[in-house]
Amino acid sequence: MVSATILLLIPLLPALGALINGVRAAANPVTHKNRTITNAVALGSTGLSALLAAWTVITYVGGGMSSAYQHAYYTWIPAGLGHVGANGIASFAVDFAFRIDTLSCTMLLIVTWIGFLIHVYATGYMAHEEGYTRFFTYLNLFMFMMLLLVLGANYMVMFVGWEGVGLCSYLLIGFYYDKNFAADAGKKAFVANRIGDFGFVLGIFLIFNTFGTADYGKVFALASANPAAYAGIATTICVLLFVGACGKSAQIPLYVWLPDAMAGPTPVSALIHAATMVTAGVYMVVRSNVLFRLSPDAMLVVAVVGAVTAIFAATIGIAQNDIKKVLAYSTVSQLGFMFLAAGVGAFTAAIFHVMTHAFFKACLFLGAGSVIHGCGGEQDMRKMGGLRKYMPKTRMTMLIACIAIAGFPPLAGFFSKDEILATTFEHHGFLYFLGMVAATCTAFYMFRLYFMTFSGDYRAAHVEGHPESEPEHAGHDVIPSHPHLDDGDIHSDKAHGHHVEAHDPHESPWSMTGVLWVLAILAVIGGFVGIPEMFGGAHPTIFQRWLSPVLLPLGGERFEFPEASRMQEALLILSSVAVATLGWFIAFVLYKKDSAFARATRLRLRFAFLHRLLENKYYVDEFYNFVFVGGTLAFSRALSWFDAHIIDGIVNGVRHLTVILFGHGSSLFDKYVVDGAVNGVGYSARGGSRLFRKMQSGFVQNYALVMAGGIVLVAAVYLFTKP
């Protein structure tokens, strides 16, 4: 039996860690001392929380997993009790409740264990940083919020976590807050997320208005018992929820914040912007699968947005030279795959891909962090190369993760991506085609990254003469795009401020490489829980059966996992391996066989326009900047002009009119009679006010004090003279 106390402790321990470290960081913001205490608090709280999470999952599975375990700790929002609304909704009461079922178990294990590993890695990566304790405060706070998000038993608790992780993401992107690009990237993430959250919160309102509750169990029970009644409203609800997911999980059109979010320290990119937070949108869609399945239209929207994002981001990833930017666009693209899966009804494949992606993408990001760490803060892949010699452990683990994400069997990424593509093939031929192209691009840009970083010779010394940086075809120098973004492009981890002087790259400490190995091993074996029948698994796969309790029947009709014929399945697997090989082969020819990249340069010159388009990310940032930022500015200028010309004009016109109409005619009367009276009053007033003008000190706070005193006086008179 799951223990409610232990369940509560899982999120509370990181919260406690954040509190302790937060107080310590506030008391002593820049110190390099007492790092042991910070480590003990941060690692201890997340480690213990991870152990408790494992224990909870074990007890839940041991208890037979017959039904979801739910525990309400207290009534969180007991608003409007006894108040019956027009539609018969009794009250707006929300419990602070946690829910354990197979879906939240999966997410719980991913979040706590990957989170713990990344905490360990960060102790090595951040060792030389100022604000060390502040960093771990934010990281622990993030763990708390993320755990609220996945454990919450209703949409409101999820929303608290949802906003909380957004806050932590903002704080950590802007961790180097004295650098403009980091502060701007943080703001951008916050604004883009706010747009999504607006949709999400409207979706929650609509759920409450329709079902009278925000509790998962009750909402889904109502919807699954009577699908026909809710099919109409479900489309609106799901589209609104999906807007929220677009913001959090960086889908078109709100994906623009995620690449810029790489301005944060690399462990943050791995934990928040690859493994956990950005998958919250996928989790939410899968959590709401009952509602989504009611509405084929909403499902189609999800699938199309996912597929288009997958290919859009993958093509951008091809032309990036910043190692973290490549990984960032790769993350956007992989998230697109997850939504594609959810949109075609392969909810288990979506969560499966969340899991495998957490393994290999965290490994890739942390490997990139290790590379950046070893190269003295350099992020430009054109200035790397040949790191195989210097960082053998990082190289091995990144190679494994590259193979996994490219989708070669039998690594984790193969099984999850194949399941997604196979299900897509069943439903939608064109989306399948998009997915296949995106998969080819994935294999290409991942191996391009690998070859540029680890093969050939180390290029940092003689980069000036390098063909890739000749000014006439380096799009960066030619295109004046807005400066802060470009600043963030290449120099972002210059803020990661150790070893600025040039010397040979070095391997990272064990705390970093050890974590890399754990993640690499997970990236190898993680896929076996979803092994299809073809390779000796079962139908449905272990992972599908594990998650099937979450996929409630609709109106008595059970959720069926599609089963393809052997022949079709074999062909699909062959073709997905073929596209992965194709991507690898192109990268091999362009970047490995030819270590001067002469072929790549020729190719780029041939397709200069296309390359520039991709390198500049289809100019979406410029477009948004022009339309939204420029639009807002133009609107406020228009208002300012309206104020200066129209409002002031009216006021001035009235004055002129008054002067013309009355001024001249009555000036004589005015001069002698009125002025005489007015001056008389004026003189007496001036005499009198000489006494009181000292009260008008100009100190606003004096006025506030007098006002407060007056209110106290009035209140006192009122209270004491009341009969």
Partner 1 sequence: MPEAIPSTAAYLMLSGTLFAIGLVGVIIRRNMITVLMAVELMMNAVNINLVAFSHRFASLEGQVFTIFIITVAAGEAAVGLAIIIQLYRLKSTINVDEARSMNG
79 scored as a contact of partner 1 (CB under 8 A):
yes
Rounded to the nearest 10°, the torsion over CA 531, 313, 264, 50 is -20
For partner 1, the closer CB: 652 or 684: 684
701 scored as a contact of partner 1 (CB under 8 A):
yes
Q: Which of 92, 198, 561, 588 binds partner 1 (CB under 8 A)?
A: 92
Of the listed pieces 10-18, 319-327, 484-492, 701-709, which binds partner 1 according to CB under 8 A?
701-709
Beta bridge partners of 322: 380
For partner 1, the closer CB: 228 or 691: 691
Contact 169, 211 (CB under 8 A): no
Q: In the complex, what is the shortest distance from the CB of residue 77 to partner 1, in angstroms, rounded to a whole number? A: 9
- 3-class DSSP state for residue 250? coil
Contact 616, 479 (CB under 8 A): yes
Of the listed pieces 30-38, 75-83, 107-115, 271-279, which binds partner 1 according to CB under 8 A?
75-83
Beta bridge partners of 74: 96
- Which residue's entry shows tokens 């020819």? 589
Q: In the complex, what is the shortest distance from the CB of residue 661 to partner 1, in angstroms, rounded to a whole number? A: 33
Q: In the complex, what is the shortest distance from the CB of residue 636 to partner 1, in angstroms, rounded to a whole number? A: 11
Of the listed pieces 72-80, 285-293, 308-316, 522-530, which binds partner 1 according to CB under 8 A?
72-80
34 scored as a contact of partner 1 (CB under 8 A):
no
80 scored as a contact of partner 1 (CB under 8 A):
yes
81 scored as a contact of partner 1 (CB under 8 A):
yes
- Amino acid code (one letter) for 41: V
Contact 231, 291 (CB under 8 A): no
Distance CA 283, CA 288 (A): 9
Q: In the complex, what is the shortest distance from the CB of residue 615 to partner 1, in angstroms, rounded to a whole number? A: 36
Q: Which of 589, 605, 695, 716 binds partner 1 (CB under 8 A)?
A: 695
75 scored as a contact of partner 1 (CB under 8 A):
yes
Q: Which of 34, 37, 58, 83 binds partner 1 (CB under 8 A)?
A: 83
For partner 1, the closer CB: 78 or 483: 78
For partner 1, the closer CB: 64 or 698: 698
708 scored as a contact of partner 1 (CB under 8 A):
yes
694 scored as a contact of partner 1 (CB under 8 A):
yes
Q: Which of 693, 710, 713, 715 binds partner 1 (CB under 8 A)?
A: 693
- Amino acid code (one letter) for 454: F
For partner 1, the closer CB: 498 or 693: 693
Contact 13, 50 (CB under 8 A): no
Q: In the complex, what is the shortest distance from the CB of residue 205 to partner 1, in angstroms, rounded to a whole number? A: 12
Distance CA 70, CA 492 (A): 44
685 scored as a contact of partner 1 (CB under 8 A):
no
For partner 1, the closer CB: 593 or 686: 686
For residue 391, give every residue at least 6 positions away whose Cβ sits within 8 Å of its Cβ, in sequence order, or none.
Answer: 370, 371, 374, 505, 506, 507, 508
Distance CA 194, CA 34 (A): 37
608 scored as a contact of partner 1 (CB under 8 A):
no
Q: Which of 228, 472, 500, 699 binds partner 1 (CB under 8 A)?
A: 699
- Which residue's entry shows tokens 């190269």? 375
36 scored as a contact of partner 1 (CB under 8 A):
no
Number of residues in contact with partner 1 under rule CB under 8 A? 20
Distance CA 352, CA 520 (A): 17
Pairing of strands 69-79, 92-100: antiparallel
Distance CA 630, CA 345 (A): 40
Of the listed pieces 220-228, 351-359, 391-399, 690-698, which binds partner 1 according to CB under 8 A?
690-698
Q: In the complex, what is the shortest distance from the CB of residue 82 to partner 1, in angstroms, rounded to a whole number? A: 5
Q: Which of 480, 698, 720, 723 binds partner 1 (CB under 8 A)?
A: 698
Of the listed pieces 230-238, 338-346, 537-545, 704-712, which binds partner 1 according to CB under 8 A?
704-712
* Cα atoms found within 13 Å of the Cα of residue 350, Cβ hemisphere only: 31
Contact 326, 368 (CB under 8 A): no
Q: In the complex, what is the shortest distance from the CB of residue 253 to partner 1, in angstroms, rounded to a whole number? A: 25
For partner 1, the closer CB: 500 or 700: 700
For partner 1, the closer CB: 671 or 693: 693
- Strands, E assignment, 162-263: none
Contact 341, 347 (CB under 8 A): yes
For partner 1, the closer CB: 91 or 481: 91
Contact 534, 569 (CB under 8 A): yes
Q: In the complex, what is the shortest distance from the CB of residue 84 to partner 1, in angstroms, rounded to a whole number? A: 11
What's the DSSP call for residue 381?
G
Looking at residues 317 to 356 of the shown chain, list those that interact with partner 1 (rule: CB under 8 A).
none
For partner 1, the closer CB: 632 or 666: 632
Q: Where are the alpha helices (DSSP H) in 72-131?
A: 102-109, 115-125
Joined together, the tokens standing for residue 570 give: 């074999």
Of the listed pieces 203-211, 488-496, 608-616, 694-702, which binds partner 1 according to CB under 8 A?
694-702
Helices 296-318 and 323-343 pack at an angle, to 10 degrees, of 160
For partner 1, the closer CB: 95 or 489: 95
Q: In the complex, what is the shortest distance from the CB of residue 75 to partner 1, in angstroms, rounded to a whole number? A: 6
What are the backbone angles phi and psi of residue 484, rounded to the nearest 5°? Answer: -70, -30
Q: Which of 570, 697, 710, 714 binds partner 1 (CB under 8 A)?
A: 697
78 scored as a contact of partner 1 (CB under 8 A):
yes
Of the listed pieces 125-133, 177-185, 607-615, 692-700, which binds partner 1 according to CB under 8 A?
692-700
Instruction: Note the maximum CA span of the chain.
Output: 111
Joined together, the tokens standing for residue 245 give: 């997911």
Count of CB atoms within 10 A of residue 109's CB? 18
- 3-class DSSP state for residue 61? helix
Distance CA 410, CA 356 (A): 12
Count of CB atoms within 10 A of residue 647's CB? 10
- Amino acid code (one letter) for 187: K
Distance CA 629, CA 439 (A): 34
82 scored as a contact of partner 1 (CB under 8 A):
yes
687 scored as a contact of partner 1 (CB under 8 A):
no
704 scored as a contact of partner 1 (CB under 8 A):
yes
502 scored as a contact of partner 1 (CB under 8 A):
no
> Which positions lie near partner 1, rule CB under 8 A?
75, 78-83, 92, 693-701, 704-705, 708
